[in-house]
Amino acid sequence: MSAATHPAVRTGPFGQPFPVVYVDGRFSAEEDSRVSVHANAISYGTGTFEGIRATWNEELGELYLLEAEAHFQRLQQSARVLGLDLAPSPQDLVAASSELLRRNEVRVDTYLRPLYILEGEELPVRMHDVRPRLSIAATPFVGAYISLSGVRCMISSWRRAPDAVLPSRAKLCGSYVGPALAKSEAVASGYDEAIMLNVAGNVTEATTSNLFMRRGTEWLTPAVSDDILEGITRAQVKTLLAERTGSPVLERSVQRTELFVSDEILLCGTAALIVPVVEVSGRPVGDGKPGETTMALQNDLRSIARRADGRHFEWTTPVYGTAEGKA
Ligand SMILES: Cc1ncc(COP(=O)(O)O)c(C=O)c1O
């Protein structure tokens, strides 16, 4: 099914979700797989999730998952932080994701949503003795999540929770209320996106993407100990930047005013890809135009995601295994 022929492509980046979903090892119709209004996770956000990109390559007739195994490894780690056991291996879950995409006959850029939540109907607030459930659903991803050509950010009044309050390195359902408030505050203030500080006042990340900045010739990004999600795209950007510049990216605490004196800023994430920041809280970034390196990296990652670039085949997994598309 292509983007053009998909029956109900909605406005915005996402289309109508595909009909077949995976739940605890089985494939079924989405309407037969819904959770109860009494599910523990609905009230308390007790769960963890992932977002994985699949990119359609029309010339090769192949669909490629991007860093699927790394995402399922992070799902395992998030479950471990919650004290939950997630039995299937990351490799099993990559295979299940491919099967899901084949069963839905997906031939369009798509977003996968693995979700591991406490679906049991127990009302007490706890992580133990409530039945968990693992699902994977797929949705066409037919537009840009955020402008690919220049994002205007405000520094949010909402802070990232410290690790002692809510573990930021785990991708937890309940921990997205803060970023949702920050995003709405930014949009209501006339910006596209929010950059969040931690309670110590250091720069962390945007609402659903990590941040890199260039000062002179040096690229830096907030340290993993500064309450960020340890992004998979962040790791890719570190690799691509080191390959391009010949120098490693510096990971350290970044102060708020460094945003105002930087020469280039980019945001990166599975949904966002790699996008240039052109303004922060009313101040232009550099000369106020998208950074050259940022745009080159964006182009690199978009090509790598559909194997239109000879590099980093290890980041992608072919779904159909067509002759041309095989590794
Ligand atoms: C809070 C947050 N930071 C960063 C990212 C980027 O992470 P990734 O590159 O693994 O998608 C995401 C997206 O998942 C996110 O939700």
Query: Which DSSP string do the residues of 81-136 spell out, in sequence order?
Result: HHT----S-HHHHHHHHHHHHHHTT--S-EEEEEEEEE-S---S--SSSS-EEEEE
273 and 157, same domain (yes or no): yes
230 and 182, same domain (yes or no): yes
Range of the domain at 48: 20-140
In a domain, 324, yes or no: no
Q: Which of 233, 237, 266, 301 to mutate to test the pocket of ligand 1 (most atoms within 8 A of CB)?
A: 233
Angle, CA 71 vertex, CA 67 and CA 75 arms, to 5°? 170
Residue 67 pLDDT > 80: yes
pLDDT category of residue 130 using cuts at 50, 70 and 90: very high
Domain count for the chain, please give it. 2
**Residues with beta carbon inside 6 Å of ligand 1?**
51, 179, 205, 208-210, 229, 231-234, 269-270
Residue 273 pLDDT > 60: yes
Distance CA 113, CA 80 (A): 19
Q: What is the pLDDT of residue 324?
A: 52
247 burial (CB, 10 Å; 0-12 / 13-18 / 19+) is: exposed
Question: Which residues are CB-neighbours of 214 under 8 A, at least 6 positions away?
Answer: 220, 262, 263, 264, 265, 291, 293
202 and 269, same domain (yes or no): yes
Nearest CA residue ID for atom 1, ligand 1: 208
234 and 171, same domain (yes or no): yes
Q: What is the CATH number of the domain that holds 187?
A: 3.20.10.10
162 and 273, same domain (yes or no): yes
In a domain, 312, yes or no: no
What's the 152 CA to ligand 1 centre distance in angstroms? Answer: 19
Nearest CA residue ID for atom 13, ligand 1: 208
Residue range 28-41: average pLDDT? 96
pLDDT category of residue 143 using cuts at 50, 70 and 90: confident
- Reading the block at residue 143, the tokens are 């537009």
Chain CA centroid to CA 74, Å: 11
% of the chain surpassing 70 pLDDT: 95
Q: Which of 159, 160, 203, 229 to mutate to test the pocket of ligand 1 (most atoms within 8 A of CB)?
A: 229
In a domain, 314, yes or no: no
Nearest CA residue ID for atom 2, ligand 1: 208
Q: Which atom of ligand 1 is nearest to the CA of 70?
A: 10
Residue range 225-229: average pLDDT? 98
Nearest CA residue ID for atom 7, ligand 1: 231
Amino acid in the structure at residue 164: A
Residue at which a domain ends, from 111, 140, 169: 140
296 and 243, same domain (yes or no): yes
Q: What is the pLDDT of residue 322?
A: 80
Render pLDDT for 285-322 as a digit per residue (tens, 0 to 9). 999 999 999 999 999 999 999 999 899 999 999 999 98
255 and 231, same domain (yes or no): yes
Q: What is the pLDDT of residue 5?
A: 46
Q: What is the CATH number of the domain that holds 102?
A: 3.30.470.10
What's the 272 CA to ligand 1 centre distance in angstroms? Answer: 9
Q: Which atom of ligand 1 is nearest to the CA of 234?
A: 9
131 and 182, same domain (yes or no): no
40 and 99, same domain (yes or no): yes
In a domain, 111, yes or no: yes
In a domain, 117, yes or no: yes
In a domain, 318, yes or no: no
The helix/strand/coil state of 261 is helix
What's the 324 CA to ligand 1 centre distance in angstroms? Answer: 31
294 and 245, same domain (yes or no): yes
Render pLDDT for 68-80 as a digit per residue (tens, 0 to 9). 999 999 999 999 9
pLDDT category of residue 251 using cuts at 50, 70 and 90: very high
Look over the chain and give the mean of its residue pLDDT values, rounded to a whole number: 95
Residue at which a domain ends, from 86, 111, 140: 140
Q: What is the pLDDT of residue 9?
A: 46
Residue 238 pLDDT > 50: yes
210 and 242, same domain (yes or no): yes
What's the 269 CA to ligand 1 centre distance in angstroms? Answer: 5
In a domain, 325, yes or no: no
What's the 231 CA to ligand 1 centre distance in angstroms? Answer: 5
Residue range 142-159: average pLDDT? 94
In a domain, 1, yes or no: no
Residue range 229-242: average pLDDT? 98
283 and 156, same domain (yes or no): yes
Residue 199 pLDDT > 80: yes
Render pLDDT for 216-226 as a digit per residue (tens, 0 to 9). 999 999 999 99
What's the 182 CA to ligand 1 centre distance in angstroms? Answer: 15
